[in-house]
Structure 1
Amino acid sequence: MSRKKVTSSDVARAAGVSQSTVSMVLNKKYNVSFSKEVIEKVERTAEELGYVIPKRKVRKDGNREKLIVVFCPNLTNPYYVMLLQGIESRSMEQGYALFVCNTQRNLALEERYLKMMHTLRPHGIIYTCNPSHCFMEEVENLAERIPITVINNQNEKLNVDAVELDNSKLGRIMARHLLELGHKRVGYIAPPLTVRQKQRSKRVEGFLKEFDKAGLKDEVVIKAAGEELDQNMPDIDSEYKIGYDLTKELLAEHRDLTAIVGLNDMIAFGIMDALHDEKYKVPGDMSVMGCDNTLFAQMREVSLTTIEHFVVFKGRDACDIIMKKIKPSHTKYGGIEPISIYHVEYEPQLIVRGSTSYPKRAGGRIERNKN
């Protein structure tokens, strides 16, 4: 028959002290003063009884959930779903789970999620857009303890790792395509162009710069949704409705447009449906263009001309940067630990499909640019 294991209670009874005294003495935790006699008596009794202090289970940091947190402003736009797809595919390869914080462009919600980071203790954080300006400092402070990557607009000054997007360049490419086709009078539909959403304004500014160089800046009609739209929780079709509703307004106010541009593909889909309902042919009567090259843009019945800027790849790269920071492969250089800041940028490409063509003359003929 096996011998019964000696416990701290056995030692306490034999030594004539409390169990807590045995625990503190044998673990050398003298936060309560014990006489020399008590200490010697407890230690001697434990030795005589053959008591062995059990090994304490230490919770190692490596045993906690391998977690990457993703801050996302909107899950109704396929652009952000594509980013998440890229992030998740790479994080799963490395054995990490995702925790998605859908801020819905709400400052209070973003702040609440940021405060949760101290409890969640993620291995890394990815922002799929620029952090709100009032939280820039907090994000930079977090980056000193947790690897953070931001998929941001190139013009923003943020001292963290970034997968960059030059929104101004996207706008310029869109404008050059329409100018080369011979379009002079065009509409541009956008979500609210607020200070908080500077990346939207950069795309519009790039578009206007190209038309300005051609002496046609005043021929561009900018139609942006009201600021209150960003203050409400977005519906699943919010950006589509922006395109649809504002196209109706544009057509009522300006009958001489030959092309309408959506700031992104979702807005462009709304533009196309509004034109269809108003009996406009695309591209015969009106050319339409979007940006992001989302899945629906590729569908045959849609065939939307758009800009590819490799969204899924950006998600993967953002995750790769986090992994490099979690598991640094470098060694010390001259006794100093090197600090690296990563910046990745893809060159956007124009994807011409069936929604853009030469503008139509008043007489009904297609007017080709002679240049």
Structure 2
Amino acid sequence: MSGKKVTSSDVAKRAGVSQATVSMVLNKKYNVSFSKDVIRKVEEAAQELGYELPKRKKRREERRQNLLVVISPNLTNPYYVMLLQGIESRAAEQGFGIFVCNTQRDLKLEERYLKMISSLNPQGIIYMCNPSQCFMEQVEDLSKRIPVVVINNQNEKLSVDAVELDNSKLGRLMARHLLELGHRKVGYIAPPLTVRQKQRSKRVEGFLKEFQSAGLKENVVIKAADEQIDKDVPGIDSEYRIGYDLTKELLKEHPELTAIVGLNDMIAFGIMDALYDEKYRVPGDMSVMGCDNTLFAKVKEVSLTTIEHFVIYKGMDACDIIMKKMNSRIKKYTEIEPVSIYHVEYEPKLVVRGTTSYPRSEKRKINKKRKNIINKEKDV
């Protein structure tokens, strides 16, 4: 049979059996009982003829290799870029690539990406925010077949793995810092505070609770952007513009404020530029504070007081959780598949830089006390 490719049909003729029997025997599929004699005949015939089994197409499960799907609400805020950096660095260490789905906070886009996941067949999924409520059940179903990690607001009840963030704690830290400096009338600028974006509201609530404890809740002016902003495709400067435009409004409506807080650093940068254009000195005339400790907050000319909550580490942890879940499925020591829910949380830290200080009235009191001390020392 030289020059002609040997087929399973040739082996079947030589062994005196059916082609189906050849296929089942050589593929070791003994779901049908074969005698030792039949198995021997088939194997000997295949060997004599030099027959080789055709390479099987890999099953979908076997093709699920080295890919993580990352779902992001936007990539215009450095916070999400930092998360992505953490995920990508850890994924690269483990030999994985990532496929980024930018939903732009659009429900239709989020739904489309969720439908694409089965065709991508990844090893795991990382949500860089809370899934939209209408897709929560779908995400939880996905987590039963494939590791899913959500980097979420701690107050959301999810039955999936999560790297958590207590947004109310961030708000309380911000408020406490300003109260300790003596600020009693402050503004808070935020993106739209909608039901879908609970994490924003939690940060604002935490801030308000701290002022409420000091009996000053009524002295906090909350200025949130219009809901339409979340419905538009976000521009590279969307959150910066929120900070800039709403600060201009606040200054006209509440000239008595001594500090303005941005829900995140990007909003705080807009606040600072609006104050600069209105000839306010920061922190001399107005203190400014952000949250996330993004790269630009550290620039000396900016020197923004902010909150560090270890964003890059969160991205790395999300990746690590997926790797742990994968390993627990591969390296079984029991016939029962383990079910575990990982929850990781970092303690946020206040980072004091050059944009917050005592309000003018407090500075006068402090200077007066200093003068009195100096005069007393002179008298002595």
Query: Would you say same fold, with TM above 0.5?
Result: yes
Give the number of the structure whose residues are more often helix, by fraction.
2
Q: Which residue number in structure 1 is paired with residue 89 of structure 2?
A: 89
CA contact (8 A) 2:150 2:161 kept: yes
Separation of aligned partners in 1, 2:78 and 2:47:
69
CA distance in 2, matches of 1:89, 1:289: 29
Matches within 5 A, 1:230-269: 230-269=230-269
Three-state SS of the structure 1 residue aligned to 2:163 is strand
Aligned to 2:54: 56
1:135 paired with 2:135, answer yes
Summarize deviations over 1:215-249 as a string: whole Å, max 9, x none: 10000000000000001110000000000000000
SS in 2 for 1:196: coil
The one-letter amino acid paired with 1:308 is E
| Identical residues among aligned pairs (%) | 68
Taking the aligned partners of 2:246 and 2:356, their CA distance within structure 1 comes to: 19
The structural deviation recorded for 1:55 is: 1.2
What are the superposed Cα offsets for residues 41-65 of structure 1, whole Å, 9 maximum, x if unpaired? xx99x95995454313231645554
- Equivalent residue for 2:177? 177
Q: CA offset at residue 143 of structure 1?
A: 0.0
CA contact (8 A) 1:8 1:23 kept: no
* Gapped regions of structure 2 (runs ≥ 5): 26-37, 370-380
Matched position secondary structure for 2:189: strand
Q: Which whole-Å CA distance do the structure 2 matches of 1:122 and 1:345 have between them?
A: 25
Mapping of residues 1-371 of structure 1, within 5 Å = 3-8=2-7, 11=10, 26-27=22-23, 51-58=49-56, 59=58, 61-62=61-62, 64-328=64-328, 331-332=332-333, 336-361=336-361, 366-368=364-366
Contact 1:192 1:230 in 2 (8 A): yes
Q: Secondary structure at the match of 2:197?
A: helix
3-state SS, counterpart of residue 91 of structure 2: helix
Matching residue's letter, 2:106: N
Structure 2 CA distance for partners of 1:125 and 1:98, relative to 1, 3 Å = same
Q: Deviation of residue 339 (structure 1)?
A: 1.8
The CA RMSD measured in Å over matched residues stands at 2.8
Q: Which amino acid aligns with 1:225?
A: A
Unaligned runs of 5+ in 1: 16-21, 30-39
State how far apart, in whole Å, the 1-side matches of 2:159 and 2:336 are: 21
* Per-residue deviation, 1:337: 4.0
Structure 1 residues 48 and 324: CA distance shift in structure 2, 3 A: closer
Q: Is the 8 A contact 1:292 1:311 kept in 2?
A: yes
Aligned equivalents of 1:279 and 1:246: distance in 2? Answer: 16
Distance, in Å, in 2 between the alignment partners of 1:256 and 1:56 is 81
Report the residue type matching 1:318 in the other structure. A
- 2:241 & 2:280 partners in 1: Cα distance? 18
Query: Could you state the TM-score of these two structures normalised by the residue count of structure 1?
Result: 0.87
Give, in angstroms, the shift of residue 196 of structure 1: 0.1
Cα distance in 1 between the residues matched to 2:107 and 2:365:
48
Report SS of the residue matched to 2:283: coil
Distance 1:208 1:10, change over 3 A: closer
Q: Aligned partner of 1:267: which letter?
A: I
Name the CA distance, whole Å, in 1 between partners of 2:312 and 2:50.
Answer: 56
